[in-house]
């Protein structure tokens, strides 16, 4: 029983599914039927009827017949075929052959989409044809007045175009012929061909109009203005040459003649209608004329500069030569008495070489000015560079003069320093003699002797001929160090001897009380009498510090206060 019920439920389920699927097929069929009816209800005929406002001949007639035939095929063949397909799909669904129904409906959708695409293409072509005709007509309405305007302007301003008038006349005739060809194409219904003619005509009119408008100014420049400027420039060159300006090196005459020939060729080409490179050539010549004038102006300024500055420059070089001759004489005298270092001689020789070079350049300048061998601008550069070198030379010359004069100054200062050191040694000897010390340590006498020898060495270096101040300065430095050392050692020795005496005198108050102190003081006195003042001070200080800490510091402070 349960098995039977299950089978019944399965059958019922399958029936329900079949009904649902069949319902879906019916829905799609209804939708495609509505789509078909929508297409059949569209007023395509009225859209095609818009073409009748044009000339139905030629290309337009062919297109109209083609579009009409295509629409009739859709209505009479393709849409009825769809009706058959939809019937077959419903029949397949009734028999539960849903796979076949789906294939048929897919085919129907494909056909409907194709019909829609064809209709869209058809209407687009219709719109394109109508819009092309309208746009071409409007553009032609603006192009024709432009052609007539150029014709009128040409007839009123023929003198501005010279022989090129014939070229522009011919070009305008060609444009008018194309305008006539447009009219003929529209009359024949060939609107797409007419559109092509309009597009080409528009481009050619723009090109010709641009050339037409630019021509008068360019032609005037090439035929009148630039040749006049070149003639004026040529005459100016001749005048400057007669006034003494150096302009031959610029070779402008040859360049001017070349430009005059080019302009003549350009004018000839323009009269034949060839203006392709004219603007570039005009700009090139105008820029070059400007450059030429700038160079000539520079030459004029340079000549004025030379006229005012060269005499002063020549005098300045002569003064420098005279000043160096005096320095040369001074150097020859000093070389007999002093030794010149390599660096000083190198500076002297560099000065001599620089002055010789500057003198040679001045002679070259004079030669070029006399024989027109260089431009005034080049000569001005030579003078300005010469002035710069002259200033540098003056600085170097003054520095050299100061340096050689310092040789004598250094010699006098060395002799003064030597005298001071000898007096200092004499003062040290006198100080030692006046001191009450038992005797002078040997190292003091040795230092004194060394300082005296080094002073004598300074004397010998000062007596040499020629005098080598480097050697003198070195000997002087060694002697000064030796004398300073003697002075420091002497002062230290006398201070130590004097302080030893003070410490022993201060410690004597404890001598009877402290036998050990008495013994140490006795040793300090022995060292004192043996000229060992440093050791004597050390022994006495140590002895008193053991008895009275801080006594040495108080003694020193007392001595400083007393002094």
Domain chopping of the chain, boundaries = 2-148, 156-290, 297-403, 435-562
Q: pLDDT at residue 483 above 80?
A: yes
Q: pLDDT at residue 126 above 60?
A: yes
**109 vs 78: CA distance, rounded Å:** 12
Predicted confidence band of residue 550 (pLDDT cuts 50, 70, 90): confident
Among 21-25, 142-146, 495-499, top mean pLDDT goes to 495-499
Predicted confidence band of residue 215 (pLDDT cuts 50, 70, 90): confident
**209 vs 150: CA distance, rounded Å:** 8
Contact (CB, 8 A) for 90 and 221: no
CB environment 434-449: b (16+ within 10 A), e (fewer) = eeebeebbeebeebbe
The tens digit of pLDDT for each residue in 228-278 reads 888 888 888 888 777 777 777 777 888 888 888 888 888 888 777 777 788
Main-chain phi, psi angles of 119, to 5 degrees: -65, -45
Q: pLDDT at residue 487 above 80?
A: yes
Among 75-84, 86-95, 144-153, 530-539, top mean pLDDT goes to 530-539
Contact (CB, 8 A) for 55 and 187: yes
Average pLDDT value over all residues in the chain: 76
Per-residue confidence (pLDDT) for residue 258, from 0 to 100: 87
Per-residue confidence (pLDDT) for residue 4, from 0 to 100: 60
Per-residue confidence (pLDDT) for residue 90, from 0 to 100: 65
**84 vs 151: CA distance, rounded Å:** 68
What's the whole-model pTM score?
0.48
């Amino acid at each position: 029983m349960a098995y039977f019920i299950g089978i019944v439920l399965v059958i019922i389920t399958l029936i329900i599914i079949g009904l649902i699927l069949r319902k879906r097929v019916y829905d799609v069929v209804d939708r495609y039927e509505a789509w078909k009816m929508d297409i059949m209800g569209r007023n395509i005929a009225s859209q095609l009827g818009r073409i009748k406002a044009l000339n139905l001949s030629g290309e337009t007639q062919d297109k109209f017949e083609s579009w009409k035939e295509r629409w009739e095929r859709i209505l009479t063949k393709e849409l009825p075929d769809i009706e058959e397909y939809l019937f077959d799909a419903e029949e397949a669904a009734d028999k539960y052959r849903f796979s076949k129904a789906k294939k048929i409906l897919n085919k129907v959708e494909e056909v409907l989409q194709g019909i829609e695409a064809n209709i869209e293409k058809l209407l687009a072509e219709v719109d394109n044809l109508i819009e092309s005709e309208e746009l071409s007509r409007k553009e032609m309405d603006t192009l024709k007045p432009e052609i007539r305007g150029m014709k009128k302007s040409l007839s009123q301003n023929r003198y501005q175009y010279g022989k090129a008038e014939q070229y522009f006349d011919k070009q305008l005739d060609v444009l008018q012929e194309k305008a006539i060809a447009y009219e003929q194409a529209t009359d024949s219904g060939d609107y797409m061909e007419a559109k092509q003619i309009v597009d080409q005509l528009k481009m050619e009119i723009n090109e010709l109009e641009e050339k037409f408008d630019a021509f008068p100014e360019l032609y005037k420049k090439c035929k009148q203005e630039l040749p006049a400027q070149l003639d004026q420039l040529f005459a100016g060159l001749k005048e400057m040459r007669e006034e003494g300006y150096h302009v031959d090196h610029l070779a402008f005459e040859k360049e001017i003649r070349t430009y005059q020939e080019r302009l003549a060729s350009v004018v000839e080409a323009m009269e034949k209608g060839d203006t392709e490179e004219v603007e570039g050539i005009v700009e090139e010549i105008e820029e070059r004329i400007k450059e030429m004038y700038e160079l000539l102006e520079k030459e004029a300024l340079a000549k004025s500069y030379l006229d005012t500055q060269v005499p002063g420059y020549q005098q300045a070089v002569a003064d420098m030569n005279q000043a160096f001759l005096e320095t040369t004489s001074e150097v020859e005298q000093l070389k007999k008495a002093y030794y010149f270092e390599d660096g000083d001689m190198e500076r002297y020789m560099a000065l001599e070489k620089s002055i010789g070079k500057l003198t040679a350049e001045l002679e070259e300048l004079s030669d070029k000015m006399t024989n027109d061998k260089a431009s005034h601008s080049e000569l001005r550069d030579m003078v300005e560079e010469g002035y710069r070198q002259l200033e540098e030379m003056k600085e170097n010359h003054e520095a050299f003069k100061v340096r050689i004069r310092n040789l004598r100054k250094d010699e006098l200062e060395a002799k003064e320093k030597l005298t001071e050191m000898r007096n200092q040694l004499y003062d040290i000897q006198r100080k030692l003699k006046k001191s009450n010390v038992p005797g002078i340590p040997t190292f003091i006498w040795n230092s004194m002797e060394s300082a005296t020898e080094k002073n004598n060495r300074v004397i010998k270096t000062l007596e040499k001929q020629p005098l080598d101040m480097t050697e003198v300065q070195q000997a002087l430095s060694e002697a000064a160090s030796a004398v300073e050392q003697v002075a420091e050692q002497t002062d230290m020795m006398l201070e130590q001897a004097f302080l030893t005496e003070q410490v022993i005198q201060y410690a004597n108050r404890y001598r009877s009380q402290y036998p050990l102190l008495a013994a140490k003081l006795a040793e300090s006195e022995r060292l004192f009498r043996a000229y060992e003042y440093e050791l004597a001070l050390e022994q006495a200080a140590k002895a008193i510090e053991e008895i009275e800490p801080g006594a040495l510091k108080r003694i020193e402070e007392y001595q400083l206060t007393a002094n």
